[in-house]
Structure 1
Amino acid sequence: MEELFPIKYALDTFYFLVMGALVMWMAAGFAMLEAGLVRSKNTVEILTKNIVLYAIACIMYMVCGYSIMYGSAGYFLSGIMGSGADGGSTYAPSADFFFQVVFVATAMSIVSGAVAERMKLWAFLAFAVVMTAFIYPMEGKWTWGAGSVFGMYALMGDDGLGFKDFAGSGIVHLAGASAALAGVMLLGARKGKYGKNGEINAIPGANLPLATLGTFILWLGWFGFNGGSQLVVSSVTDANAVALIIVNTNMAAAGGCVAALILARLMFKKADLTMALNGALAGLVAITASPDTPSPVLATLFGAIAGVIVVFSIVVIDKLKIDDPVGAISVHGVAGFFGLMIVPITAEGTSFFVQLVGALTIFVWVFVVSLIVWAILKAVMGIRVSEEEEYEGVDIAECGMDAYPEFTGAGK
């Protein structure tokens, strides 16, 4: 066995890095999806947000987020900056950091779309610093970090309550949606979205081909998101588990896409592409909590239910006058909660009560702290552009350029 260790170490490290690279590619998916679902006059700003938030997440998680989440400041300096197996690990410590940091960026990307078209760029980036350096790592400490913070008992781990969130339906997606909801509530709706008499005005996106491309990129990246969360692949058992996880991830997305499209056809009498896209993403979010335990048939069914739920959720949230241009709160928040609650159906040793406790812990922590941070930013620097800037488009106001200069004025 000792002769095999270098091979296992190399294989697991390579697998971890490739899976992390797939998750990093999801940043491109979010950028394309959001750019496609906003108006053309707001494209440059949302692309700027997506690439800069990824860079901020990497820096802040390196500076302090990783240490908060795993309590390993010394390990960070000696292990991640160094080389070699540490404590019997079968993969390089730096590979673990890379895989974890792309998850942080994913959580922050969820916020970007929900506050699109009316938030100040620098206020958003300031929030990204706090979210990636403190808010996310703290709730991650109670879950994947398996540690106590502020006296809070660990939700996961050998001494935890038995909460299961395999790849982050709650830890990543519900957390991102909770932060987004807090921001949207303080930010308010886009001008013209809701009429004085209660009517809801559709504000269509500028580029549905781009939104569709973004969804396909996210679908692909999710194989790394869920498949990489097995952490190792160098044994027969782990290799089989990774294969099943990826199959289940794919089937849940397919189920969500088809179910959402069928429901949209029944409700709106049209085949709504945006609902199909969000249905696929909802299926992906829902299966993320436990992609290792269902059969592919059950995974498809779970994804289909998530696809149905997300259509109703988008409609209800709109009626509540919570303006979410890309449906992020429904896709990542509502479907993320659903994913956590179906875990006990197939995962032994879990319970609906503990899953509910975990979901509420994540939501309350992220929502409350995010609301405080957003409120401070609103008081100190303001979080919303002026009405004139919103009308003209935040691309010019915030970034000084158009995404499609030869078509200036289109989409306003």
Structure 2
Amino acid sequence: MEASWEASVTDSINTIYLLFSAYLVFVMQLGFAMLCAGSVQAKNAMNIMLTNVVDAVVGSISYYLFGFAFAFGDGSGSNPFIGTSFFALKDIPSSTYDYSYFLYQWAFAIAVAGITSGSIAERTQFSAYLVFSFFLTGFVYPIVAHWVWSSSGWLSPSSSDLLFGSGAIDFAGSGVVHLVGGIAGLWGSLIEGPRAGRFDAFGKPVLMRGHNATLVVLGTFLLWFGWFGFNPGSFDKILVSYPTTSDQGNWTAIGRTAVTTTLAGSTAGLVTLFGRRLLVGHWDALDVCNGLLGGFVAITSGCSVVDPWAAIICGFVSAWVLIGLNIVALKLRFDDPLEATQLHGGCGAWGLIFTGLFAKEEFVIQAYDSGESGVSRPYGLFMGGGWALLGAQVVEVLAIVGWVSATMGPLFYALHKLNILRISVEEELAGLDISSHGGYAYTGHAEESRPRFYADYVRLQDQS
């Protein structure tokens, strides 16, 4: 009876911890909304807020109907490449995955769509958001999640048949979440092309700053807060007793994961602050916010398996990855209003490589073998662990880039050919709020502050 009571208490605490983490991750949707709203022009604020809401509500239905089963289904149709399909909560036994786990994974899924939405902001038809959000959260992202996070996935570090004897370590999703969203955004941005006026006739970039720095900073802090559910929360069971100790368990690794997350983000923000100061000649809060988020993205893969000092290295490099990719993007005339491709794609890829270099064997065993004694696993190359883990990490990067390109690229191209992807130039110049949503986000948006193209847009509408 006593043992049964203890088991019940343990299950209750684990469930409460998982649900609390899910709520934190969901708060990141508010962070995305604020960050996106502040980063776009005022004439598109209503549109970008609506797309963030759509990512959540459409993602809920598609992930319930298809996504969760594709990711974690373990029925007769399950294999290393795809889980059981259709109607997730019907096909997955409650004894294996309960509703709490579904909610936590759903919060991750809708974050992916939010990343991609930022890449194609300010020039995309609303109907296109509905299509790609459903497809991304219901099919594309869940397949990658199955590869890495399902015990039957071919890249999983918990599989019975480990790739290179290691499996790929992507603890909270530098690749599964961020790289997926970044590559999807890359194809959307490439196929749509730059925003009107982003580059002049000579190909030189024209500054198009977001309209509200306050919202950007607010969104950044909300995302930072949510990341404490994103990374430490990926220990879905807080109460796990390690067999050879009485004072260690997942709770010790959870604290370390929160610290490595904080240090990587803070270092990246600091390096971006001074790096951009050297490049542009002034301090820029918005650049620092993106640098901070880039550090969080990068550490998300290895947050549970690296030392705090290694997290500082992770953040330092991620800042330069972001700065470098932004410079390259401008030279190639690539336009991503939120820098989502560079931030989530570039820093996400770096995070996977970083884990292959700096993962510590003791922490790998803690995270994936519950501290079991006598276990030996491949770990970081720079830590003396050989090439196996790094090889698996590189394979994950290549597999994600290939899969997302093969699915989202054709989808965006089809939407483009059907003329339901990009809005007209007249609508874009007038602003999506007035052309698609009936009015501006700010009721005090006076006539004289509207775009100078507004009168021409109204005239064209009258003629049509």
Preserved CA contact (<8 Å) 1:40 1:206: yes
- 1:123 maps to 2:128: yes
Alpha-carbon separation, structure 1, partners of 2:223 and 2:55: 17
TM-score, length-scaled by structure 2: 0.83
Preserved CA contact (<8 Å) 1:39 1:411: no
- 1:398 maps to 2:436: yes
Give the structure, 1 or 2, with the largest relative contact order (CA under 8 Å, sep 6 or more). Answer: 1
- Give 1:198 shift: 2.0
Which residue is equivalent to 1:77? 90
The match for 2:254 among 242, 246, 252 is 242
Alpha-carbon separation, structure 1, partners of 2:412 and 2:36: 21
* Alpha-carbon spacing, 1:17–1:298, altered in 2? closer, same or farther (3 Å): same
Number of residue pairs aligned between Structure 1 and Structure 2: 400
Alpha-carbon separation, structure 1, partners of 2:423 and 2:276: 34
Preserved CA contact (<8 Å) 2:65 2:88: no
Alpha-carbon separation, structure 2, partners of 1:264 and 1:380: 41
Alpha-carbon separation, structure 2, partners of 1:121 and 1:135: 20
Alpha-carbon separation, structure 2, partners of 1:67 and 1:408: 49
Which residue is equivalent to 1:307? 319
- 1:157 maps to 2:141: no
- 1:53 maps to 2:91: no
- Give 1:218 shift: 0.4
The match for 1:379 among 414, 417, 433 is 417
- Give 1:176 shift: 0.2
Q: Which has the larger radius of gyration?
A: 2
TM-score, length-scaled by structure 1: 0.93
Alpha-carbon separation, structure 1, partners of 2:422 and 2:91: 43
RMSD: 1.7
Which residue is equivalent to 1:366? 404
Task: Point out where structure 1 has 5 or more consecutive residues left out of the alignment.
Answer: none
Moved more, 251-260 or 69-78: 69-78
Q: Which whole-Å deviations, capped at 9, do the CAs of 1:101-149 have from their partners, x for residues lacking one?
A: 010011110011110100001111111111111111112221112446x
The match for 1:66 among 54, 65, 68 is 68
Q: Which whole-Å deviations, capped at 9, do the CAs of 1:151-174 have from their partners, x for residues lacking one?
A: xx4454322311110000000000
- Give 1:248 shift: 1.0
- 1:279 maps to 2:291: yes
Which residue is equivalent to 1:262? 274
Preserved CA contact (<8 Å) 2:67 2:88: no
Moved more, 16-25 or 369-378: 369-378
- Give 1:294 shift: 2.0
Find the residue that maps to 1:407 and give its secondary structure: coil
The match for 2:31 among 24, 29, 32 is 29
Q: Which whole-Å deviations, capped at 9, do the CAs of 1:170-193 have from their partners, x for residues lacking one?
A: 000000001000111110100111
Alpha-carbon separation, structure 2, partners of 1:176 and 1:58: 17
* Alpha-carbon spacing, 1:185–1:75, altered in 2? closer, same or farther (3 Å): closer
- Give 1:292 shift: 1.1
Find the residue that maps to 1:342 and give its secondary structure: helix
Which residue is equivalent to 1:135? 140
Moved more, 59-68 or 156-165: 156-165
Give runs of aligned pairs for residues 204-223 of structure 1, distance below 5 A. 204-223=209-228
Alpha-carbon separation, structure 1, partners of 2:195 and 2:22: 35
Preserved CA contact (<8 Å) 1:275 1:311: no
The match for 2:11 among 9, 17, 38 is 9
Preserved CA contact (<8 Å) 2:35 2:217: yes
* Alpha-carbon spacing, 1:379–1:98, altered in 2? closer, same or farther (3 Å): same
Alpha-carbon separation, structure 2, partners of 1:315 and 1:108: 25
* Identical counterparts, % of pairs: 32
Alpha-carbon separation, structure 2, partners of 1:101 and 1:107: 10
Moved more, 399-408 or 10-19: 399-408
Alpha-carbon separation, structure 1, partners of 2:145 and 2:304: 20
